[in-house]
Chain A
Amino acid sequence: MKIKQLISITLLALCSGFVQANIKVDSPAPAFTLNNEKGEQVSLADYKGKYVVLEWTNDQCPYVKKHYQSGNMQNLQQKYTDKEVVWLSVISSAPGKQGYVEADEAIELTQSRNAAPTHVLFDPSGEVGKSYGAKTTPHMYIIDKQGVLRYAGGIDSIKSANPADIEKADNYVDLGLTALMNGKEVKNKLTPPYGCSVKYKS
């Protein structure tokens, strides 16, 4: 074996310090337990046997508003919770940062926006957000009945804050859930998410 000698070595950093867990579609979704708006503990494990949608959200973010003011997000929530899908809206905003809400504010928001999530979950430490690699609001995940992650990424195909684009875009959550419920594979399993950054503590 020939060893080509490398003369100058510039080691900027070794591959250490991987804070962020890599998430992978088609492998088990990271487990979590978080408090909901009623102060109850909700675990992913509670929903074995059901489809679960995770929606990272921040009510102040213009990209989230795009989908709530147009009614797009509520329609999806309604459509799929009616079909026994568990819809979890997760807030990873740290206290004092944009989008952080207390439980009663969250209830108000759900009512006033006519939203229909199964639970609103609070992740002020950002740990669950980081374990899923959630970067933006919205950032969407679909988990199947066996607890396997089947979709991760953007809510739809047009990266903009303009509500007029919703109609023109392919809604990846809608397409993904439809495919799974028909026993098919999700066509686009991974799409780059778009939106505001999740307002993490660090």
Chain B
Amino acid sequence: MRLFNRWILTVFVACCALFNVAANSSELNDGLANKLSVENASSVATGPHIQVALISEYQDLNPDQQNWIGILLEPETHWHTYWQNPGDSGEAPQMSWTLPDGVNAGEIKWPLPQKINVAHLVNYGYDGQNLLMLPLNFDNPKQYKNGDTLHVSVDLSWLVCQEDCIPGWATLNKTFDINRNNTPSDSFDLFAKTRKLHPQNKTLSAQYETTDQHIVVSVKPPVQSDWQLFALKSSVIQHNQNQQQLTSESGNTHFTLAKSDYFIDENKPLKFLLSDGTKGYYLTAAFNSVSANNNSPNQLESQTLAALLLLALMAFAGGLILNLMPCVLPVLSIKALSLQQTNLSIGNKLAYLIGVLVSFNLFALVVILLRQGGESIGWGFQMQAPWFVALMAFLFLAIALMLLDQIRFGSSLSGIGQNLVSGHGFSSQFFTGVLAVLVASPCTAPFMAASLGVAMVSPPAQTLLLFNSLALGFALPLTLIFCLPVLAKILPKPGAWMESFRQFLFFPMLATVIWLIWVYLNQTNSAALFILLISLLCFALFCWLVNHSKGMFKALFLLAVIASVILPFYLNYSAEAHTPQAQQQNNQLAYNPQKLAELKANNQLVLVNMTADWCITCKVNEQVAFNSNEVKAILNEPNVHYMVGDWTNKNQQILTFLQQYKRAGVPLYVVYAGDGSEQVLPQLLSPSIVIEAINQAKKELNHEN
């Protein structure tokens, strides 16, 4: 019975509390009562543990300017009210304004909130006195004369808490005089003081990504400070979890926030307040759509007409610029200079253009066919094949030697070489075009990258259109020179200088050879490089010997030339090709499905890391987990293999791997203990997670053995 009495008592006290908040709560539901009470209504109300008031910065309202009014919440000591996101529990004050027509209330300016801990939960709010300011604006200032009055009314609800909470409601009323003399009110200083607690007006932009349990936000704060992020909505982050911060050299700070159980992933922009307790900025974080777009790299996207035309134009411009690339320019300039004096038939004039068009269309056809066969390729895919790079090195060396007059093929072998410099016939012109396209292929000119990227994944018709635009742009300058004698006249007259110029062009050609050798090294290993260099030397030597010998020796040396070209291919296929990353760092391997299968079959421990340069979460993990000394040490152990797949660019093999794990994007971390077991790690790592996973895998391997 005693307990029952206690309960009755508490209910009674609570009811009194509710009723104490003036008879206002009933007014909320009763418009008539509301109207009647206007006359003697007050701008101040009292509830249990709190007093609320409607106040203004200036005594009167000035229609010519923005007027600041506010709701002053004054709870008792140790009692608090809430920020716009109250945190784990609680409720922000709500206001509903009744204003004359033509007068509008703006948004509430929330001062920087404090974190308030309640057991293991966290609230955001204000301990003690707090002023919620907002502007009043007049649509038509002239409508109001000095001496007029204006009535302002607000239905206010609040929650005031210590640990226990008491809600309250009140309608506050105030009649202002209209006056343009700006006389400060008693609360003037309070407004000035409160302004210092407002976030800055500037809104920062940021990006975010989500993992299963976290939201990673990347933002560049204007200054360094002990920043914390506060989500403007309660259902975004777990308020009671620590925020991890990483600052990159570019000044971007990555915040790792525990995702709320109530967060719904819709890739929509998220709003936060960045605050260090004394200053703050609002920020809008956009979903990192780069990773979203890359989620389906193999999609054959259909472009809108306008976008397609723009891309075609870019391809055309790219083709034009391709003429200036160091690998192409020497070949073409020699051709241009040698031809200006000759009269060509129309067919011969256009032969070069036809050669270029045919080559590019062949290239496009190969792309389309490979794609239909299910392969995913990118521009320069041919450059990914070491044999192609080596062959190009021989070709460029041959051109270089030709420029130094060290190769002069006899009439019996009247091939492209000789005619490149002096021939005028249709076939010579045509093959000049083919050769130009061939030598252009290692060079990706500006503007071309975007349109070629699209061409690689577009439907066949679009691929053809883009490649032809590129071809037209590429062939245009030389074709114009052939067709318009006026243009030819602008070119310098041939003479002795041409010989020197031709010899000078030997150097850019040699530079191209050096570059190709460097590419080759990255694709193979130093042994293969050595063989290639020796072969190139032999190639040059025998070319020179062919040039300086006669009869049977000439034929012999010619065979030697061919042998030097074949040599590196013959030797290389017997040696195991190395992956470029293998040389880069410790025992880090580039992702390769065959290699992975092999390691698994050999009962090896493999950690696969799928990453990309544009992935913020991946960068955070690399910094926090993979760069720590403990993890580096364990990855360096002899039977631990660290395999990295870089998805910065489209890659079919990596996509297939991700799809095996039902992922559409990176990061993805998997630890394999041989063929026995696999463990998918969380998307956000700490050194201990990685080490534990590897130790776990080790145990399993030992157990099996």
Residues of A that sit less than 8 Å from B by CB: 1-20, 22-24, 59-63, 65, 97-98, 102, 104-105, 108-109, 112, 126, 130, 133, 135-136, 152-153, 159-162, 164, 190-202
Contacts and interface: CB of A to CB of B under 8 A. Distances in A.
Nearest to B169: A162
B7 A105 contact: yes
B94 interface: yes
A101 B7 CA distance: 10
Contacts, number: 161
A74 to B, nearest CB: 16
B261 A152 contact: yes
A20 B240 contact: yes
B262 A60 contact: no
A62 B120 contact: no
Contacts of A202: 119-120
A17 B242 CA distance: 9
A12 B89 contact: no
B10 interface: yes
Interface of B: 3-4, 7, 10, 14, 18, 25, 28-29, 88-91, 94, 118-121, 123, 157, 159, 161, 163-167, 169, 213-214, 233-235, 238, 240-249, 256, 258, 260-262, 264, 581, 584, 590, 611, 613, 619, 622-624, 644, 646, 648, 684, 686, 688
A165 B368 CA distance: 62
A199 B245 CA distance: 31
B119 A200 contact: yes
Contact of B241 (A7, A18, A97, A190): A18
Chain B CB count within 10 A is highest, among A5, A13, A62, for: A62
B7 A4 contact: no
Contacts of B169: 162
Given A14-B244, A199-B119, A202-B120, 10 more contacts: A12-B243, A13-B244, A18-B241, A20-B241, A102-B3, A136-B88, A160-B157, A190-B235, A192-B262, A197-B118
Nearest to B590: A1
B interface, over-half SS? mixed
Nearest to B687: A14
B613 A197 contact: no
A9 B243 CA distance: 14
B581 A1 contact: yes
Contacts of A3: 622
Contact of A160 (B94, B119, B161): B94
B3 A105 contact: yes
A198 B246 CA distance: 33
A61 to B, nearest CB: 7
A112 B8 CA distance: 10
Contacts of A164: 28-29
Contact of B91 (A5, A11, A18, A160): A160
Contact of B246 (A9, A65, A105, A112): A9
Contacts of B260: 192
A195 B89 contact: yes
Contacts of A10: 245-247
B120 A104 contact: no
B165 A61 contact: yes
A162 B123 CA distance: 21
13 contacts: A1-B648, A8-B249, A15-B686, A18-B241, A20-B241, A60-B14, A62-B159, A98-B163, A160-B167, A162-B25, A162-B28, A198-B89, A201-B119
